[in-house]
Amino acid sequence: MVATVKPQSLKIFRRFTLLLMPGIFTLVTSLTLVGCTQQSQKAENQSSASNVSDTKPSGIKTKVLRMGYQQAGDLVRITKVLEKRLEPLGIKVEWAQFAQGPQLMEAMNVGKIDLGSVGETPPIFAQAAGAEIVYVVGRRRTEKTGKGSAIAVPPNSPIKSVKDIKGQKVVFQKASASHYFIIRALEEAGLKYSDIQVLSIPNVEAASAFLEGKIPVWVSGDPHLARAEKLGKARIIRTAQGLDSPGGYYIAGKQFAIENPELLRIVIEEIDKIDRWAEAHPQETAKLIAPEQKLPPDVMKLVLSRRSYGLRAISPELIKEQQRIADYFYKNGLLPKSLNVQEAMLTPEQYAAITPPTISQK
């Protein structure tokens, strides 16, 4: 099942708690033969349900895993590896699509999803807003990290470098990975965040406007960026490569993570497996993803050429890196108070329970 949750619709749920009400069954008893048959059937159904329950590990309390994914797509969803692994345990997988990380985090905050992948920035702003979330596992950093994100301008723009965007309207999604990227790029060029005019627009909406030449400076990522490049509509002035980001994460609702450690371990195992496969089989991966994203082969090839795969365990070193990002936002006046990211972490024992030994520690 795949659902699309729009940002505006999420606001409706801000003051409400999602309630999962168990079904109410009415049993009609009778002394007739039909009544006896119904009772017999009911007993058989209860026996079957009990058998399914018995196969479910004690570290799994839910019957539905609600996964969030971004507009850029998700190989895990496309290949249905989670469905194949969890169906024998009686667990259903539901998917919801979001424009970018901030929208996904907002949905998690109001209880609409359990787990999703985002960049380094969205969980910081989500935690600052009071969301009960935890970091589950990190995305492995490689030499490709940051290549698929860039500050772009129209081909005929007079802007030649980051220094030239001073005073310009710069479009990106606030509280996304692009937010950290642009601040670091400005600092590197000797500029301040206040030196630009910020317009916060999700990539999926900004892409069309940029292609029409209506946006002077766009901070974006693949596949939107790759499509604009291949259409000859974008000139890159700086990629995010080398700007010391710890990379992305899988984030979960805190209570969900605490109650379902065995489920998280299974999910992490399957994500790691499909990531390893994708890294070793780029052509096959392109054939799987291209139809889903409706991308031409040349665009898909560019996207995959700069996409990183693999997971990274949550470690003291990674927590320190993420804390540095949170401190950076606070220093630049973008968080109302300092943030302790350790409060959005599980205990070492809990991480040991959900992290397979195959996951990289670096």
* pLDDT digits 0-9 by tens, 51-103: 444 455 677 999 999 999 986 558 899 999 999 999 999 999 999 999 899 99
- For the four alpha carbons of 156, 195, 123 and 125, in that order, the dihedral sign comes to negative
Cβ partners under 8 Å of residue 80, min gap 6? none
Three-state DSSP state, 132: coil
Residue 239, pLDDT above cutoff 70: yes
More confident residue, 345 or 299: 345
106-164 pLDDT, tens digit per residue, is 999 999 999 999 999 999 999 999 999 999 999 987 667 788 999 999 999 999 999 99
For the entire predicted model, the pTM comes to 0.82
Residue 259, pLDDT above cutoff 80: yes
Residue 11, pLDDT above cutoff 70: no
More confident residue, 24 or 10: 10
Residue 195 confidence (pLDDT): 97
Question: What angle, rounded to 10 degrees, do the helices at 261-280 and 282-293 form?
Answer: 110
Alpha helices in 241-315 (DSSP H): 254-259, 261-280, 282-293, 297-305
* 275-303 average pLDDT score: 87
Beta bridge mates, 251: 116, 135
Residue 31, pLDDT above cutoff 60: no
Q: Tell me which of 2-6, 23-27, 286-290 is least confident.
A: 23-27
Residue 76 confidence (pLDDT): 93
Residue 73 confidence (pLDDT): 57
Split at pLDDT 50, 70, 90, the class of 321 is: very high
Asked whether 295 and 230 are in contact (CB, 8 A), the reply is no
Tokens representing residue 116 in the block: 């999703």
How far is it, in rounded angstroms, from Cα 125 to Cα 102?
A: 8
Residue 233 confidence (pLDDT): 96
Residue entry with tokens 């205990």: 347
Residue 18, pLDDT above cutoff 80: no
Beta carbons within 10 angstroms of residue 68's beta carbon: 26
